[in-house]
Amino acid sequence: MPLVHIHMQTGKPDAYRQAIFDGVYDALRATFNVPEDDQFMTITEHEASNFRYGATYFDVARSDDLVFIQLTVSNTRTSDQKKALFRRITDLLVEKPGLRPEDVFVSLVEVDKVNWSFGYGLAQYA
């Protein structure tokens, strides 16, 4: 059950943002075996003055179209699954909405399964 937070600069149309949601979700389904309808995602848009990034950190030439994607996930995936997820998200977001691969920044935050509550105040995985 990934929880996805996406941050980007303001100004893109709704279809662009929806394509990002779709691409991330499709990549999670393909690489992390996320079940159908397991979609808990937000996009937060920031004015340029509130969005800072290293334009060339790690020798990656980023632009103002940079998208930060942070996924909170259970700590049950292998390194190969994580690498496949990063690649698949990038490939899908390059395809649609047309991001450059340099502008896809992904971070995983891993938590124990007991740290999730999907409602009712229950720890469903515990």
Q: Which residues are tagged catalytic?
A: 2
Cα 10 from Cα 119, distance rounded (Å): 31
**Are the beta carbons of 46 and 6 closer than 8 angstroms?**
no
Q: CA geometry: angle at 51 spanning 31 and 96, to 5°?
A: 40
DSSP assignment, residue 32?
Answer: S
Terminal Cα distance for the chain, rounded: 14
For residue 40, give every residue at least 6 positions away whose Cβ sits within 8 Å of its Cβ, in sequence order, or none. Answer: 1, 2, 3, 4
